[in-house]
Structure 1
């Protein structure tokens, strides 16, 4: 008898990647319902089928990151299309052996409804919340970040939904303790971010004996603003080897005025200007991350992965959609000494890089903080084994407390 498929509900680029890696570990067909974008990470899996419509948001999945984000998403049909996705997910769950949510409270609501309507087991992977976001967050800070209230801490309704799930996995030990104090038997089995960090894809051929500066403009549209600032900062650092981990088509490269782009192949290009030449590498994030001594990043998961490797990260806020000033503050609380947020100016970034390279004790402190706060890999095989058990029907079938 063919094993029943598993339905994955995820809402973000990193969440899709985690879901796809989990699905690849299962000996089952995959149904996937990406709530933001097309869920391209799942597309390469054998026998994978997308459930329901595609929601393309101008904000890239951050409607509450700023008021302009919310306005643009509402104009794009956020409410009507989202309700349609709820119906699509519920229909998709009818043929699944289990429902797996990878994402935030909103994704958990969609997954809870789909699982309850069809009486299917539910497993929640929460890769976003961390109790470390609350460190040093006073009332004034909370009021300043009201749009991120549910991202800084699990709200009561999310905890109630999580208590109904058959299994809940969180991103770090501090969050496990936070959830358990509130009645959710959550588990920390390892870092999701480090689990999905790719192995080095190829050799970079960087000069020996020179520090490597990784430039991480990110997968969101922040790169249209941040890459130019990063390149100009790199031009002020002739003693380092800068390498851009570029995840987009070459046509989307936004260069500073006076700079040129020399495309060598589909995977390698060089940006030239202000007396500098900066290598851009496509499809080589794993190689760039492992070669780096220091990083400048306006990215979410990528910044965390570099910190998890022990690489100090320097960041600066953009106008969005993701790496806003509020997001930078939140990531600073998450990563502690592993992240340094400075002004969005090339000279400030270059000074921060020099400060780290000239002070080994600061680099060591940043490395220890990153390694400790992100944690080691190893969660996904544990979660996959749990999914297999649930999909075979080995789970409590009592109705549980009312939601």
Structure 2
């Protein structure tokens, strides 16, 4: 009989859940774990060999319905209702088999966890009191979290945990943010000029949006090259392969070296951007600044104490609404957003000036370090949450007797 069922509804939620699973497996590999990702294919779980109990499918919205409700129409056209019903049926069919359900995300996985009738814990990874100074939870979410079957509420930051505790949610705690445990390097070597500040490009993970974002960032690199010498490295997803990079180079009038570099000239300066899908952690750790058009990856950059400059894209994910919310979440000491509409040449010029000012500000590194600690935290969250889950399981065994 499986001991744990993980429910999650989004890319970042799957990542956090999988890191907790990995920490649990490290301590107790005999513990039986299953999962049901509500959004996407569940690759993060599959990489760990965790069985998926029901159907999965990637929807056009990527689960980001709150950013653009119109994409719900596309999801519905692709069979969202039938998919959801089949997922609920799978969870309901196996509900009595699990000792504990772990809900990672918002009201959707929490409601499904409650539907099982089993004890559950909730990780509110998709919301924070930093957004508005006070956590605004839907009525249903509050009711479910106050249920006796909800044994623990994990928060993504200490500020949110303190806010919930002050409102009577005594089970709310902060143990750390698991995504900071996903930054161990894989030994990838970056051949860059050590005399030049390294600027990292984070274009996002969902195609074709990530390609459009990368093109915009490359144009910003050209603007920056007018002002000085910089090293650039893009942490791209594997789906942006050599064929895609060649097409990007042709669209922009650049050259592609056939391996991992996009090349052009700006005046008498040679500009090259390294594009690597195998060096995310190494690029982030070595960078002095990040040009960000992503969600979780930008959070990780802030956690590492890096300043981030955000450009506005055409979406569907990285729109002004998303970027502005992320700026409130992560703090203006670390994140600066340029413009309110998809970036135009004037916005790229402004972004270049902001980047230059940020790199020249001697107080910026320490402010970013302190802000990153407060907003995101240090590594170790996965193991800490896993430890709390073990405690809940042990308490459940005592209660069962």
Band of TM-score, shorter chain = 0.7 to 0.9
Q: CA deviation at 1:363?
A: 4.4
Count of residues in correspondence between the two structures:
372
Q: CA deviation at 1:383?
A: 1.6
Distance of 1:91 and 1:24 partners within structure 2: 26
The answer to whether residue 212 in structure 2 is matched with residue 225 in structure 1 is yes
Aligned to 1:149: none
The one of 117, 120, 130 aligned to 2:128:
130
Contact persistence 2:15–2:179 (CA under 8 A): no
Contact persistence 1:121–1:166 (CA under 8 A): yes
The one of 193, 198, 203 aligned to 2:179:
193
Q: CA deviation at 1:395?
A: 6.6
The answer to whether residue 277 in structure 2 is matched with residue 282 in structure 1 is yes
Distance of 1:393 and 1:174 partners within structure 2: 27
The answer to whether residue 214 in structure 2 is matched with residue 214 in structure 1 is no
Query: What TM-score do you get using the length of structure 2 for normalisation?
Result: 0.86
Q: Deviations over 1:26-53 (max 9, x none)?
A: 222221101111110111224x211101
Q: Deviations over 1:259-300 (max 9, x none)?
A: 233332xxxx11123442110011211111100100000111
The one of 313, 322, 325 aligned to 2:317:
322
Distance of 1:74 and 1:190 partners within structure 2: 36
The one of 264, 272, 285 aligned to 1:273:
264
The one of 286, 294, 298 aligned to 1:299:
294
The one of 39, 51, 59 aligned to 2:42:
39
SS at match of 1:351: helix
Q: Deviations over 1:206-234 (max 9, x none)?
A: 22121110000011343132110111111
Change (3 A) 1:324 1:397: farther
Q: Deviations over 1:79-130 (max 9, x none)?
A: 232122122122233322211111111121112212x1xxx22011111211
Distance of 1:363 and 1:347 partners within structure 2: 23
Distance of 1:200 and 1:236 partners within structure 2: 32
Change (3 A) 1:371 1:263: farther
Aligned to 2:335: 339
SS at match of 1:235: helix
Change (3 A) 1:370 1:393: closer
Distance of 1:339 and 1:215 partners within structure 2: 14
Q: Deviations over 1:333-375 (max 9, x none)?
A: 1121210000324323222211111222244433432232222
When the two chains are superposed, the root-mean-square deviation of aligned CA atoms in Å is 2.2
The one of 78, 83, 95 aligned to 1:76:
78
Aligned to 1:105: 107
Q: CA deviation at 1:22?
A: 1.4
Contact persistence 1:271–1:277 (CA under 8 A): yes
Aligned to 1:167: 152
Distance of 2:69 and 2:35 partners within structure 1: 30
SS at match of 1:9: strand
Change (3 A) 1:157 1:244: same
Change (3 A) 1:395 1:316: farther
Q: CA deviation at 1:252?
A: 4.2
Further displaced range: 55-64 or 225-234: 55-64
Q: 5+ unaligned residues in a row in structure 1: which ranges?
A: 138-151, 399-403
Query: What TM-score do you get using the length of structure 1 for normalisation?
Result: 0.86
Q: CA deviation at 1:6?
A: 1.4
